[in-house]
Chains A and B, each alone.
Chain A
Amino acid sequence: MSPLAQLGALVVKELRLLGADRGALATLFLLPVLFLVVMSLALQGLYARGQRPVVVAVDRDRGPIAARVIDRLAQSGDLAVERIGDPKRAEVAVREHQAVAALVFPADFSLRARSGVKPAELELVADPATGRQLLAPVAVAVEATAAQTVAEAVLPDALARRVRDYAQTLADPLTILPLAARLREVRTGGVSLRERSTADLAAVLPGAKPDSAQQNVPAWTIFGIFFVVNVLALSLVRERQDNILMRLQATGAPVWVLLLGKLLPFYLVNLLQAALLFAVGIGVLHLALGAHPLALVPVTLATAAVATNLGLLIATWFETPEQLGGTASILSVLLAALGGLLIPIYVMPDFMRRLAVFTPQHWALTGYQDVLLRGGGLGEVLPEVGILGAFALGFFALAVVRWRQVLAR
């Protein structure tokens, strides 16, 4: 009884069973009620009172106008503004979804505003994964506040200067009337808001911005991959209930062979799922894969490994399919919500954002977004793949320990 031959027999059997149970697999992807409930709960924060987009402000100008703009934005109630001295730290805050955007005041902001020759430039730095629906109101608020502040700061001085200059050239006050014509020439310089991504978009698609497919396909692919948790756990719990696991033990197959025999077919199903979802993304939604599409492969492999191993582990907690019920599905949906699959992580309250890093879904999404939105390659996704691999190995090790305990009862 070679363990490898036993593993082969288990894999073939599992694929046969899966082939005979296609209806159940299809149904598991729906779960509309659970989905609706979790979505509603997860989105609560977005509409809650007092929930304001966080913007980090980098004041390299250190002049009165920039300080006034920041104060005004903070007092407006529309945004939560935090001052950060280091532009790099601000970008990190945006990348890690602690802030929706970073507002950067260049060193010559006040000077240009006062000169009135050129518009004073502001930079709004956002993550490419940030939705337009969230970023647009931030940009409007910043632009309006900055323009008003610059006008208020520059216009009185400019007018007074021009009146003073003109009056000095005149002996007769009546002749000041032509001043009106000179005042028309007064310019405050205005404010120009330039939006910038934390990623070099040119590396993804020259001249293009992240689109809906790039935002949604990875999220729903991960969501689909994690649905395997329920199917796999249910299959194991049934085998346990029907004494099949006991009979398998009697064949002398080691626990790791039994678990791998269950895991591998579902892993294959996961990879097919991901391939199908990306194919639909490319074919139907015109998904652009970024500059290094091959980097999507390790992210997918690692994500599927986490999902299948989580299924092995969860199955140890339940003795009957009734007990398992929808628990595994609910857990998948909750983890998906927490990991930023169902709602963007930057709209979540602070404590939820901190929790997100404990979900494999978060790292899977970050990995996919590195490739699709930030132009990342194999090197860039390695950290995420490593973390996902650690999740998978941890779950497998725990599953082996737990199953040994369960089977010895």
Chain B
Amino acid sequence: MLLLANNLHRRYGERLAVAGLDLTVDVGEFFGLLGPNGAGKSTAVRMLAGVLPPTSGSITVGGFDLVAERRRALPLLGMVPQELGLYPSLSAHANLEFWGRMHGLSGGELARRIGWALELVALSGHAREPVQTFSGGMKRRLNLAAGILHAPRLLLLDEPTVGVDPQSRNRIFEGLEELNRRGTAVIYTSHYLEEVERLCHRVAVVEAGRVVAEGSPSTLTERWGNARVVLRVQGATESLPTDLRTLDGVRAVHLRDGTLVIETAKPQATLAAALQALARSGGEIQEVHLERASLESVFLALTGRAMRDGGTP
């Protein structure tokens, strides 16, 4: 076990931002931390990175206690904060040189790591340019490079693709996947569920400061996710919701303005049964949609709210 967080609490005055968070991350694992705004993700990441002491609970990294054996645990961790932790007036190279030195690198080793990190994020051609001339995506890529210079065993990323163009997002994904292939474990927080589904081996859904569900994206989808059968209907449909709720696999039925939405774990069987029920009631079908289960639906089922306004990119 590379990281073990046990019963973490963090209080800000009267507010409990993290309330009994338990996490484990294995060597080489790509772990996703999902949660809406205010769920406590960023606070959790700051505690896991060793920059915020927990009010109670414990964290061990590589077997070292993050509070008591801080100087031995911290070199194993790398952090990529949500805001750009970079100096705009310095060049990309100067920024990396500084962060490398802060992590104890020097001389030829530092130069080699800078070259490697710049290449990984595809910024080798811009090494001597001031960061303030970079696009948002380039800055995000450099932000990632600054976090991996010292080759951490566990990399913590807090919303690393916010405001990034698709090209830079792909570069970041490729870089992270490459790091992960080489054995770096990753904790990844994001609002973008598609990113999490693509990258993460395992996901924890955080709500009100604690984990409410955990597993691989497919496991979570099977366990909590609902496919949606959407029917636009006309005619005698008043009794339909009551009839359909009794079907096997159906978790919720809503009828509004002639649109019938059935959330179900068994979409094929539900669709067939719904069509039969409609035929019996004399209702007329105008349109049919079948939406597969996704992490979004898992999230909705677990937290009762959508992941973010405006959907995913």
Contacts of A253 in B (CB 8 A): 102
Choose from B46, B53, B101 the contact partner of A9 (Cβ within 8 Å). Answer: B101
In angstroms, Cα B111 to Cα A312, docked, is: 33
Contacts of A5 in B (CB 8 A): 101, 104, 106
A159 within 8 A of B: no
Contacts of B87 in A (CB 8 A): 13, 17, 244
A327 → chain B, closest Cβ, in Å?
23
A146 → chain B, closest Cβ, in Å?
67
**Contacts A5-B106, A13-B87 given: A250-B82 contact, CB under 8 Å?**
no
A409 within 8 A of B: yes
**Count the B residues whose beta carbon is within 8 Å of the partner chain — how many?**
31
Choose from A6, A20, A247 the contact partner of B79 (Cβ within 8 Å). Answer: A247
Contacts of A20 in B (CB 8 A): 89-90
A408 within 8 A of B: yes
| A409→B12 contact, CB < 8 A | yes
B59 within 8 A of A: no
Q: Which of B51, B83, B99, B102 has the most chain A CB atoms inside 10 A of its CB?
A: B102
| A248→B102 contact, CB < 8 A | yes
| B101→A6 contact, CB < 8 A | yes
Contacts of B51 in A (CB 8 A): 246, 249-250, 407
Interface positions of A from 232 to 266, Cβ below 8 Å from B? 241-244, 246-253
In angstroms, Cα B75 to Cα A252, docked, is: 8
In angstroms, Cα B46 to Cα A8, docked, is: 26
Q: Which residue of A is nearest B158, CB measured?
A: A243
A1 within 8 A of B: yes
In angstroms, Cα B74 to Cα A5, docked, is: 16
Q: Which residue of B is nearest A242, CB measured?
A: B83
**Contacts A9-B98, A247-B79 given: A252-B70 contact, CB under 8 Å?**
yes
In angstroms, Cα B43 to Cα A408, docked, is: 11
Contacts of A409 in B (CB 8 A): 12, 52
**Contacts A252-B71, A409-B12 given: A21-B89 contact, CB under 8 Å?**
yes
| B89→A1 contact, CB < 8 A | no
Q: Which residue of B is nearest A6, CB measured?
A: B102
B10 → chain A, closest Cβ, in Å?
10
B49 within 8 A of A: yes
In angstroms, Cα B89 to Cα A16, docked, is: 9
Q: Which residue of B is nearest A408, CB measured?
A: B53
| B79→A2 contact, CB < 8 A | no
Contacts of B99 in A (CB 8 A): 247, 251
| A17→B89 contact, CB < 8 A | yes
A165 → chain B, closest Cβ, in Å?
94
Q: Which residue of B is nearest A8, CB measured?
A: B101
| B83→A251 contact, CB < 8 A | no
Choose from B52, B94, B146 the contact partner of A16 (Cβ within 8 Å). Answer: B94
Q: Which residue of A is nearest B89, CB measured?
A: A20
Contacts of A251 in B (CB 8 A): 74, 99, 102-103
| B101→A252 contact, CB < 8 A | no
Contacts of B241 in A (CB 8 A): none
| B52→A408 contact, CB < 8 A | yes
Q: Which of A17, A246, A248 has the most chain B CB atoms inside 10 A of its CB?
A: A246
Choose from A9, A16, A241 the contact partner of B90 (Cβ within 8 Å). Answer: A16
Interface positions of A from 186 to 218, Cβ below 8 Å from B? none
B49 → chain A, closest Cβ, in Å?
5
B81 within 8 A of A: yes
B117 within 8 A of A: no
In angstroms, Cα B51 to Cα A247, docked, is: 8
Choose from B81, B90, B106 the contact partner of A17 (Cβ within 8 Å). Answer: B90
**Contacts A13-B98, A408-B53 given: A1-B82 contact, CB under 8 Å?**
no
**Contacts A13-B98, A246-B46 given: A1-B71 contact, CB under 8 Å?**
yes
A409 → chain B, closest Cβ, in Å?
7
Q: Which residue of B is nearest A248, CB measured?
A: B102
Contacts of B104 in A (CB 8 A): 1-2, 5-6
Q: Which residue of A is nearest B100, CB measured?
A: A9
In angstroms, Cα B77 to Cα A244, docked, is: 16
B62 within 8 A of A: no
Contacts of B98 in A (CB 8 A): 9, 12-13
Interface positions of B from 21 to 75, Cβ below 8 Å from A? 46, 49-53, 70-71, 74-75
In angstroms, Cα B105 to Cα A2, docked, is: 10
Q: Which residue of B is nearest A13, CB measured?
A: B98
In angstroms, Cα B70 to Cα A5, docked, is: 18
Interface positions of B from 84 to 137, Cβ below 8 Å from A? 84-87, 89-90, 94, 98-99, 101-104, 106
B186 → chain A, closest Cβ, in Å?
16
In angstroms, Cα B82 to Cα A17, docked, is: 22
Contacts of B50 in A (CB 8 A): 249-250, 252
A235 → chain B, closest Cβ, in Å?
10
B16 → chain A, closest Cβ, in Å?
15
Q: Which residue of A is nearest B79, CB measured?
A: A250
In angstroms, Cα B100 to Cα A5, docked, is: 11
Contacts of B85 in A (CB 8 A): 242-244, 246-247
Choose from A6, A12, A16, A244 the contact partner of B86 (Cβ within 8 Å). Answer: A244
Q: Which of A12, A243, A253, A409 has the most chain B CB atoms inside 10 A of its CB?
A: A243
B66 → chain A, closest Cβ, in Å?
11
**Contacts A5-B106, A251-B102, A253-B102 given: A243-B82 contact, CB under 8 Å?**
yes
Q: Which of A6, A8, A250, A407 has the most chain B CB atoms inside 10 A of its CB?
A: A250
| A243→B83 contact, CB < 8 A | yes
Contacts of A407 in B (CB 8 A): 51
In angstroms, Cα B99 to Cα A309, docked, is: 25
In angstroms, Cα B90 to Cα A285, docked, is: 39
Contacts of B146 in A (CB 8 A): 247
Contacts of A10 in B (CB 8 A): 102
In angstroms, Cα B90 to Cα A29, docked, is: 24
- Complex A-B: 26 CB contacts under 8 Å: A1-B103, A2-B104, A5-B106, A8-B101, A9-B98, A9-B101, A9-B102, A10-B102, A12-B101, A13-B90, A13-B94, A16-B90, A17-B89, A20-B89, A241-B83, A242-B86, A243-B84, A243-B85, A244-B86, A246-B46, A247-B146, A250-B74, A251-B99, A252-B50, A252-B74, A407-B51
Q: A6-B101, A252-B71 are in contact. List 6 more A-B contacts (CB 8 A).
A: A1-B74, A1-B75, A17-B87, A20-B89, A243-B85, A246-B81
7 closest A-B pairs (Cβ-Cβ)?
A9-B101, A247-B85, A243-B83, A1-B104, A20-B89, A252-B74, A249-B51
Q: Residues of A at under 8 Å CB distance from B?
A: 1-2, 5-6, 8-10, 12-13, 16-17, 20-21, 241-244, 246-253, 407-409
